[in-house]
Structure 1
């Protein structure tokens, strides 16, 4: 509650990391679309009263990240490929081969800045 006694509206950004995170996130967003009547291209049928943008397209506040591009490419080419903004699908060029140190200290360092920048951009959009 704020000092005026009104509840503050909360926003959510989903970050899906790694093969399992990306696959689960993609499945969750498909389910959310089915539950809310949003089509795979982000459009809601015209019988609905509200739209998220001037074009009526809904885009999830979600970021998908993986060091290896295969799973992200599945999202890029899947049924719901038009739902996600391309900048929200971040992938590296090679896998860490289940090696934490390699993923954290070497390969992960190559994409962490772009991931954090994209998160900052989404947060700024929420604040506007």
Structure 2
């Protein structure tokens, strides 16, 4: 098992521990698994964390999303989450930075990170 680098590593002070979600399986680089299986299991938990952060903002204007198009979490789960966020937050801005996988580099370590900022 890999150590939890985000909670214990050099940059641990960048992330509030109440907003971190861990201990769940990944989508095994499968869009459908990320969208339907993991997406349906995890979306409400993730949206709840987003709501808690958004409640601390006086005027949420949008969201910054960083994700990968490769893998099931970056593609499938994030699409599921963005659809639900559109229902909850309407026309709030969503700025997306997407990483497209290279055919020359392995995409075994794809990730999705959602940053929620008041800007």
TM over 0.5: no
- The TM-score range, normalised by the shorter chain, is 0.3 to 0.5
Flag the structure with more relative contact order, 1 or 2, with Cα contacts below 8 A and sequence separation at least 6: 2
Larger radius of gyration: 1
Normalised by the size of structure 1, how large is the TM-score?
A: 0.39
Normalised by the size of structure 2, how large is the TM-score?
A: 0.42
**More strand by proportion, 1 or 2?**
2
